[in-house]
Structure 1
C-alpha cells in the first residue's frame, strides 16, 4: 500500500481520495475486497477511528459496500465508478485554476504552458 498521509487535509479525506485514485487507475476493481478497517489503520499507521470515518463516508458515497460481518468491497456500480475520474479531474482543476488566477496567469499563457509541459 502506497499511502502516505500529509498535514494539509484531514487523514480520512486523504484515505477517501487514495481509494478513488486506486479505483480510477485500476488497482482496485469492482467487487474487490478492501483491507479491513483495523488492517488499513495498521498499514498506514493511523487511528482506527480515522479509517472507520473514511470507510463510513465511502459507504455513504456508495464507493464501497459492507454486508454485515464481511469485509468491505468496491462497488460494482460502473456509472458511479466512471464518474470518479471526472470528479478527481474537476477537483484538481479547481485548485489548479484558483492557484493560477491568484498569481495572475492569463488563460492563453496557461494553455501554452500546459501544451509545452504535458
Structure 2
C-alpha cells in the first residue's frame, strides 16, 4: 500500500479514500480480504487507533464487512461499489469547480485545458511504464 498523506484531511479519511480509489479501479475486488487493522497500521506507519477508526467508518458505510473473527472483506454490494466511482468523480469535480469558479474561466477554455492536462498525464504514465 502506498498512500501519500497530506496535512489537510484526517488520516483515517485518507485511508478510506484510498480504499475507495482501489475499489474504483478494481485493485480491490468484491469479497477480497483486506489487511487486519494492526497490519494496516504497520504497513502505513499509522496509529492502530487510526486504522481502527477507518475500518469502523468503512463498516458503517458498508464498504467492508467483518464476520466474527474472520478477516475483513470488501463489500459485495454491487450498487454500493458502482456508486463509489461516481462519488469519487463528483468529489473531484466539485473541488475543481470550487477552485476554478472565482477565476471566471470560460467553460470552453476549461474543457480544452482539462483535455490537454488529462492527455499529458496519460502520456506521462505511459512513459514511466515503458
1:106 counterpart residue number: 106
TM-score, normalised with respect to structure 1: 0.94
CA contact (8 A) 1:4 1:44 kept: no
Unaligned runs of 5+ in 1: none
Return the offset for 1:35: 0.4
Other structure's SS at 1:116 match: helix
Instruction: Give 1:107 shift.
Output: 1.9
TM-superposed CA distance for 1:110, in Å, is 0.8
More helix by share: 2
| Cα deviation 1:41-73 (Å, max 9, x = unaligned) | 010001011111111110011010011211100
Q: TM-score, normalised on structure 2?
A: 0.86
1:30 paired with 2:30, answer: yes
RMSD between superposed Cα atoms in Å = 1.1
Q: Using the alignment, how far apart are the partners of 1:92 and 1:115 within structure 2?
A: 15
Aligned to 2:116: 116
- Aligned pairs, number: 118
Q: Distance in 1 between matches of 2:116 and 2:46?
A: 40
For 2:87, the equivalent position in structure 1 comes to 87
The residue that corresponds to 2:124 in the other structure is none
Structure-2 separation of matches of 1:102 and 1:44: 37
> Structure 2 regions of 5+ residues with no counterpart?
119-130
